[in-house]
Amino acid sequence: MRPAPLVLRAMRQPEWCVGLDGGDWDLLLRQAGAAHLLAGLAAMLAERRLLEQVPRRPRAHLLWAQALAERHAQAVRWEVREIARALDGLGLPLILLKGAAYALAGLPNGRGRLFSDIDILVPKENLDEVEAALMLHGWVAQHHDAYDQRYYREWMHELPPMQHARRQSFIDVHHAILPPTAAARPDPALLRAAAPPLPGRPGLRTLAPLDLVLHSATHLFYDSELSHGLRDLVDIHRLLLQYGAEAGFYQRLAERAARLQLQRPLFYALRYSARLLHTPVPAHLREAGAAAAPGRWRLALMDALFCRALLPRHASCDDAGSATARFLLYVRGNWLRMPPLLLARHLLHKALLSRKADAAAQQA
């Protein structure tokens, strides 16, 4: 068995990094960069007051990543204020999801976390007025193709992504956390009802701690693209470290997962967080979660796929099965979100679109 990639060992125990030599630091930084975790690693070392103990050259890279993350966080706070201003007249609570929620709530996994768009959750019946309000304030839908418009508006759990015409920032407006075509259908009204306000930020909310974990697990283990897979698993790991020490947290988490029909993604989240990052998940919960596990052979296949695809896309982390694992999980992610006929139609459309783009590029 190959040794664990350096970035996994660093995420498990940041103190371990201090004793690395120059060659190992070079490889660690490359792996962390491929996993979109370079700024996150800098933040974890800074939390423990270890940055000064890092050798000069890798420390320079980490400090640069830290400065970039601070600038990114400043831009996120500005963007959220602008979104809140655009939606102020609608009388809706603005519920932040994923990266923006972690950042504005001041959660440990929000420090050093970079992301490309801001995700919000609104009631489905208010989608039209939310979209109109954002358009009046400069956001424009990015998918103008008739197929893509229908794909998002009829089959997905979000509007087509919107980009601000001047600032070039992106926003994703969700009305649920899974598409209506998926087998699991967690009720978004339950998520909205439990969402607490952000202290000191009137009108802003995040998901409740239990739902933060479950949404992160659902986002990762229903996804078809795992280019940010390890970063998202680290989110789950750090959320569990943050909240898991509370009495009864894991029991409440299992109960909430059952109510939201999210037992399977929670099972995978706990399994691979414990396996890859050594998250201290209670043994009795892992045993209780076995009821949500797939069958023996299917679980062995999932282990073979996820334990490859969740690693950084870097040559030092890949083996002969890594590309196949990513492809099979891409197909699986789409399969989970769409029924077979719709999936076949969607993949055919995307394949034809890709071929047209390649032909246009060759002509150019």
Task: State the DSSP code for 169.
Answer: -
Q: Name the least confident of 113-117, 172-176, 267-271, 345-349.
A: 345-349
Which phi and psi (to 5°) does residue 118 adopt? Answer: -105, 130
pLDDT digit string, tens, across residues 159-215:
888 889 888 889 999 999 998 888 888 999 999 999 999 988 888 999 999 999 999
Please compute Rg for the chain using Cα positions: 21
84: exposed, middle or buried (Cβ count in 10 Å: 0-12, 13-18, 19+): middle
Cα→Cα distances 269→36, 95, 131, 230, 302, Å:
19, 23, 33, 11, 12
- The pair of three-digit structure tokens given for residue 7, joined into one six-digit string: 């970035």
Asked if residue 337 has pLDDT above 70, the reply is: yes
Give the pLDDT band (50/70/90) at residue 22: confident
Asked if residue 357 has pLDDT above 50, the reply is: no
The string of DSSP letters for 223-241 reads: -S--TTHHHHHHHHHHHHH
Predicted model pTM: 0.90
Residues 6+ apart with CB under 8 A from 292: 257, 263, 264, 266, 267
Please report the pLDDT score of residue 5 as a whole number: 93
